[in-house]
């Protein structure tokens, strides 16, 4: 069964550094999402991406964040100048618009900012 993949599984970075989290959505999906989950808390929407542009973003997704689809398969989240409070699990998800609203989540990248 096709699945969303994410790399790396765990990223440790120092405060102030930039990180890029990578995702490979399911190949025929057209909508892509990033969510984050701080340890022990709920899953929070960050951004959605369709047709090579951001379609929605939350208040969390400020100028520190950016997304890109650099080629036909990867979908990336860049976090500039990381802060301690950026430490969280980051999930990528994708959706096939012809298959209702179901979003398929990747296994996540655990980001630890020290």
Partner 1 sequence: GQQVMQIPQYQHVQEGEDFTTYCNSSTTLSNIQWYKQRPGGHPVFLIQLVKSGEVKKQKRLTFQFGEAKKNSSLHITATQTTDVGTYFCAGQDSNSGYALNFGKGTSLLVTP
Residues at the contact surface with partner 1, assessed by CB under 8 A: 31, 33, 35, 41-45, 48, 55-56, 58, 91, 95, 100-108
Q: Least CB distance from residue 61 to partner 1, whole Å?
A: 11
Q: Least CB distance from residue 60 to partner 1, whole Å?
A: 11
Residues 97, 99: Cα–Cα separation, whole Å: 5
Q: Which is nearer to partner 1, 62 or 71 (CB)?
A: 62
Neighbours of 5 (CB within 10 A): 14
Q: Which is nearer to partner 1, 41 or 81 (CB)?
A: 41
Distances (CA, A) of 70 to 13, 54, 98: 23, 14, 24
Q: Least CB distance from residue 64 to partner 1, whole Å?
A: 19
Q: Cα angle at 110 between 17 and 20, to 5 degrees?
A: 40
Q: Which is nearer to partner 1, 45 or 64 (CB)?
A: 45
Q: Least CB distance from residue 16 to partner 1, whole Å?
A: 28
């Amino acid at each position: 069964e096709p699945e969303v993949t994410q790399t790396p599984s765990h990223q440790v970075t120092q405060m102030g550094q930039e990180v890029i989290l990578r995702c490979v959505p399911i190949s025929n999906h057209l909508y892509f999402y990033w969510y984050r989950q701080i340890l022990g808390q709920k899953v929070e929407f960050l951004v959605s991406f369709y047709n090579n542009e951001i379609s929605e973003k939350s208040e969390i997704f400020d100028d520190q964040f950016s997304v890109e689809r650099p080629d036909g398969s990867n979908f990336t989240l860049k976090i500039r100048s990381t802060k301690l409070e950026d430490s969280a699990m980051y999930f990528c998800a994708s959706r096939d618009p012809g298959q209702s609203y179901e979003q398929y989540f990747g296994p996540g990248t655990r980001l630890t900012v020290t």
